[in-house]
Amino acid sequence: MNFYNIFKKGLFSSIAVGLFAFAFHATADNATASAANEKTANTLTYQPQLENQRDPNQYCAKCHKFNNQQFHGTHLSKTNPNTGKPINCVSCHGKISEDHRRGVKDVMRFHGDIFDGKTPMYTAQEQNQVCFACHQPDKLREKFWAHDVHAMKLPCASCHTLHPEHDAMKDIQPKQRVKLCVDCHGKQQAIREEKAKQPNKDTQ
């Protein structure tokens, strides 16, 4: 056997061994990668099902009583158009702090009576921004022009209430609308006239 034949057999043997080692290594890598991918896929697609979650309204209703412990109104059956989740107390009033039970005024309070002489905790603009989060001003304007006129001057709660058993503004007749305008602006005019009659302290 000459040198050429020995070299040829050695070369073929080396190539065969190299191919076998490469194939074995690639197979092992593929198996490892498949196992890793399967583990990652299982981790990413796992969605825990949370059941028996606490009713978010129940926590508030334990202390706040309304209409003989019954909260009424369309808000209880609607969903937030921004999140698609059911509307609850926190949706409108905001989250409470740890000191809420101690009397800290940390939630939105809607003050509708503009003639009671009290200074509301939140301005009409601040109160109405909560409503505008769901009720779009453009649509309200199209529905009734008075929404546009009073949007930043009067709290929505002056005409609408959050938890009514029967919404006084729903299906209201045109004559009743006119009476609301006359009554409200009549009170405002009477208050201005009464203040005008009072002596000015600066001139005394």
- Give pLDDT tens digits for 51-71: 555 676 777 877 877 656 566
Looking at residue 124, what is its pLDDT?
92
- Which of the listed ranges 32-36, 37-41, 102-106 does the model predict with the highest average pLDDT? 102-106
Residue 175: other Cβ atoms inside 10 A: 7
Percent of the chain topping pLDDT 70: 66
pTM: 0.63
Residue 86 β-bridge partners: 79
The answer to whether position 26 is within a domain reads: no
- pLDDT value at 114 more than 60: yes
Considering only CA atoms, give the Rg of the chain: 36
The answer to whether position 149 is within a domain reads: yes
The answer to whether position 135 is within a domain reads: yes
The answer to whether position 124 is within a domain reads: yes
Looking at residue 43, what is its pLDDT?
56
Q: Are 93 and 108 in contact (CB under 8 A)?
A: yes
- Which of the listed ranges 61-70, 83-92, 157-166 does the model predict with the highest average pLDDT? 83-92
Average pLDDT rounded to a whole number, residues 63-84 = 75
Domain span at residue 88 reads: 56-189
Distance between alpha carbon 71 and the CA centroid of its chain, in Å? 20
Looking at residue 127, what is its pLDDT?
94
Torsion of CA 21, 27, 29, 33, to 10 degrees: 180
The answer to whether position 92 is within a domain reads: yes
Q: Where are the alpha helices (DSSP H) in 3-123?
A: 3-45, 56-61, 89-93
- Give pLDDT tens digits for 21-31: 544 454 545 55
Look at the chain and report how many structural domains it folds into.
Answer: 1
The answer to whether position 38 is within a domain reads: no
- Give pLDDT tens digits for 7-20: 445 545 555 545 44
- Cα(135)–Cα(144) distance, rounded to whole angstroms? 13
